[in-house]
Every structure is written in C-alpha cells, then in structure tokens.
C-alpha cells in the first residue's frame, strides 16, 4: 500500500510532537510545521494526503491556513484540532471546507481513526473519478463467450493467475479481447472489489503518458496548476491495465521497469517516493521479441512483463465460436436499437463462418452492429453483410493477380458506394471508416482522373 503523507501544524511544540509521534507509529510519513506559514509552504511543496492543524495559532490561525490550503488544493483533507471552548470555531472550519475536527485532549487512537476516515473518503473520491465510466463495462468472467478448446484453455489460465500478485502479459492480434481478459483476471481474483484502472499507452505522447502513469506535482511543467494523482497510485491495492505497452517510448521504460520491480516511483517534479501495491496486466498486439531485437523495447522490461503470458488466438483459429459470438452481439444490439430481428439465415451464418475476420472479435461485433442499425428486417441475410463478400473477394482471389492494395481498396470503396446508392454516410459506416476519410479518398480518385 502507498505510504500516506501527513502534515502536522501547531505552534505548541508539545502538542505538535505528540501528534507527530502518533502518526509515525501508525506508519505514515509525517512533516511538522510550527506555524501556519511554514505549514502552507510544506503543503505547497508536497500536497499532503491529510493535514492536521491547530485552530489557535499566531500570526496565521487555523482558519486562515485552511482557506489557503483549499485554494491550492480544493480536495485537500484537513482535520482541525480544537479545545472545548472553541467548538463554534471548529464548526466554522467545517463550513469553510475542513474534513473533520477533533477535540483536545484526544488519544492517539482517536486521532488515528479521524485520519483513516479522511483517507478513506479521499480514496473513494479518486476511485469515483475514474470508475464512473467503468460501471457498465462487461469485465466479469461469465461475460466471456466461446466454448472452443482454445478459449477453454484461456479460461483455465485466467483462473490460475487471478489470485496471484504476478504481472500478466496478454498477447494477441487487435480485436481478440485482450482488455476483456484483463478485466476477467481482475474480477476473478481477490482484488475484485478494488480499483481497475486502464491507460492506453498508444494514445498518449511520452510526456503526457509519464504524468498519467505516475502523476505530477504542481509546477512540474507548464500548465501543471495542481497536483495530479497518477494511474499507478489510483490503482493501489487493485489492478492497472497497461494497454498496448509496446508503444511506450524507450525513454520512459526505465521508470516503468522500476515501478514494476520495486512497486515505487516519484511523481513528475516530485521527490517523495510513493509505494504502491498495484497488480499489473499488460497487453500488446506487437511482437515484443522483435521490438527488443530492434532496440525499441528494453530486454529487462520485456523479461519483467513476461512472467505469465496469455496468448489469445485470432478468431479465424476458433471458428466454432463465431456463431455464439454473433448471436450474443445480435441480442445486445437489437435490444439497444429496438429491433425485432429473430436471427440469421443459414446463408448469413455461412458467410460469417467463411470470413477470416482479420479484425477478430471486434470486427465481428462491428459488422453485426452495422447490420442491426442499417437493416430493420425480420432476419439478417447474407446480403446484409455484403461488405464481407467484397473483402473476401479482395483477399481470396476475386481480383486479378498483381492487383495492388491501393487498387483493391479503391474497388472496395467504389463497390460499397454503389451498393449504398452513393450515400456516403452509410458507405462509411459499412467500411468502418469516417466520412471524412471516405471524402478524402474520393478526392484522390477525382484528382487522379479515376472518377468524375
């Protein structure tokens, strides 16, 4: 678990030392200040997890210090210490943003409970910010579909590794369900009730990714106006999914390696070492061995990731799973779109079985969704998946030998437009590209004199 940092502010040395000692015995990292100004300077530097401050101090009292801390960090957790005669002032502090107050004299246990309560609330706020979007995600073990031997082997591996602390590396082509496997590992283990945090390493530049992973302190770089908690810290006691880890730049890999090995790191611009108990699941659709040989990926980091590897087979190697997957997606999307489609014709199922699905399960999912959205019919027929016919013609010899990829792409685009009566929006949906991309392709063909 991360070692939380506590700031104690009191101008009376005996009380300050009493609180500091109590917090140290609880295992916290503690900073102590003898004045409000000194405490504010320390908080500005370290952004402590909890501040414990006296109310009656000079020249800056606890209320003024509270206001300045809240101005620096709106979510700061501040506990005020007060005597019986100043309870009204303590209530005013609560209204001004204090987390709690504690009456003097108090026992170390009472103080420990108040701090623990504040930390629990802070953790819940952090989780809520990142997990709200995850509420409806299908991450549990039972939502995985497939009865092929290959998938039964995957299920067995998930069960074996779920309760361990070991790093798991999930490999497979794009669209094979690597994230779903990561979620299943999390949900099947002892950390199921803890945070599951994801970061897409391919979507972020090196500088932004470092901040996302490890967080940063205020002022660490331009526009770093507040302290940011990184994904490693947010996932403390839970699971962190490093999606497409092969895309992490070589310059960031040493820091990542240390975090994986030692389970500790520093925020960008910070000096305090943060310890975490974060379980790592990493995914990649690239050949990491080749990346190591080419110098694009550190060999020691690869070995650290490759403790337990789960290799996901492409859909073309487990075609017996195509029909149950297609039926599951049909039920999902007809419910979402208010359709009454009863199922697939035998010809449609035959087409789905013959297709090689280079985009794997994700491509199948998109194909079914497009068919459900575009065709309000009693039953899905092969003609509702005509795009697959065109793609198979490109891959399977329907084009003359020597046809270039660009020519094949052009023919597929133009045939799809013809099928859609030149409706670009519908054609783009069937091609699984944006309307802007389709428009740019057509502009290229016009400039080349291929179309008018």
The CATH number of the domain holding residue 381 is 1.10.8.60
Residue 320's pLDDT is 92
Interval 318-373: pLDDT, tens: 999 999 999 999 999 998 889 999 999 999 999 899 888 888 898 899 889 888 98
pLDDT by residue (tens digit) across 251-268? 999 999 999 999 999 999
The answer to whether 51 and 110 are in contact (CB under 8 A) is no
> CB burial class (10 A; 0-12, 13-18, 19+) of residue 179?
middle
- What is the DSSP secondary structure assignment for residue 138, as one 8-state letter? -
Residue 386 falls inside a structural domain: yes
Domain residues for 112?
5-131
Residues 149 and 293 in one domain: yes
Which pLDDT score, from 0 to 100, does residue 137 have? 44
Write the DSSP string, 265-294: EE-BT--SEEE---EEEEEESS-HHHHHHT
Over residues 43-63, the mean pLDDT reads: 92
Given phi > 0 = left and psi -120 to 50 = alpha, else beta, which region is 213? Answer: alpha
Query: DSSP letter at 104?
Result: S
CATH number of the domain that 41 lies in? Answer: 3.40.50.2300
Question: How far is the first Cα of the chain from the last one, in angstroms, to the nearest whole number?
Answer: 65
User: 305 with 228, same domain?
Assistant: yes
The residue among 311, 329, 349 that closes a domain is 311
Residues 173 and 284 in one domain: yes
- 0.75 surpassed by pTM: no
In this prediction, residue 383 carries a pLDDT of 85
């Amino acid at each position: 678990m991360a070692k939380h940092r506590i700031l104690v502010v009191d101008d009376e040395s005996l009380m300050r030392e009493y609180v500091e000692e109590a917090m140290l015995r609880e295992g916290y990292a503690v900073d102590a200040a003898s004045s409000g100004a000194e405490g504010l300077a320390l908080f500005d530097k370290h952004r402590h997890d909890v501040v414990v401050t006296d109310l009656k101090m000079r020249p800056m009292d606890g209320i003024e210090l509270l206001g300045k801390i809240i101005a620096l960090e709106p979510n700061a957790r501040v506990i005020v210490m007060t005597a019986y005669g100043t309870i009204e002032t303590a209530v005013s502090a609560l209204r001004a943003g204090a987390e709690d107050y504690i009456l003097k004299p108090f026992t170390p246990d009472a103080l420990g409970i108040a701090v623990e309560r504040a930390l629990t609330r802070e953790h819940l706020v952090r989780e809520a910010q990142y997990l709200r979007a995850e509420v409806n995600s299908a991450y549990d073990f039972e939502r995985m579909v497939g009865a092929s031997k290959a998938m039964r082997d995957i299920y067995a591996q998930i069960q074996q590794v779920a309760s361990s602390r070991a790093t798991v590396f999930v490999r497979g082509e794009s669209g094979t369900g690597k994230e779903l496997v990561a979620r299943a590992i999390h949900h099947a283990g002892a950390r199921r009730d803890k945070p599951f945090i994801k970061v897409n390493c391919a979507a972020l530049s090196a500088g932004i990714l470092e901040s996302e992973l490890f967080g940063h302190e205020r002022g660490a770089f331009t526009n770093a106006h507040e302290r940011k908690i990184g994904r490693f810290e947010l996932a403390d006691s839970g699971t962190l999914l490093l999606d497409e880890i092969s895309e992490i730049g070589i310059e960031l890999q040493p820091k990542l390696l240390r975090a994986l090995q030692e389970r500790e790191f520093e925020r960008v611009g910070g000096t305090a070492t943060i310890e975490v108990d974060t379980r790592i699941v990493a995914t990649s659709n690239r050949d990491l061995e080749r990346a190591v040989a080419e110098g694009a990926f550190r060999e020691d980091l690869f070995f650290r990731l490759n403790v337990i590897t789960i290799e996901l087979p492409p859909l073309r190697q487990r075609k017996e799973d195509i029909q149950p997957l297609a039926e599951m997606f049909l039920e999902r999307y007809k419910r979402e779109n208010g359709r009454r489609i009863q199922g697939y014709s035998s010809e449609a199922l035959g087409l789905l079985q013959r297709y090689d699905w280079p985009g794997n399960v994700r491509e199948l999912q998109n194909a079914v969704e497009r068919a459900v959205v575009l065709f309000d019919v009693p039953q899905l027929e092969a003609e509702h998946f005509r795009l697959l016919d065109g793609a198979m013609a490109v891959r399977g010899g329907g084009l003359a030998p020597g046809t270039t990829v660009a020519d094949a792409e052009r023919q597929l685009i133009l045939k799809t437009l013809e099928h859609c009566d030149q409706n670009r929006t519908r054609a783009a949906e069937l091609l699984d590209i944006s309307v802007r991309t389709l428009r740019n392709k057509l502009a290229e063909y016009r400039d080349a004199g291929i179309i008018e």
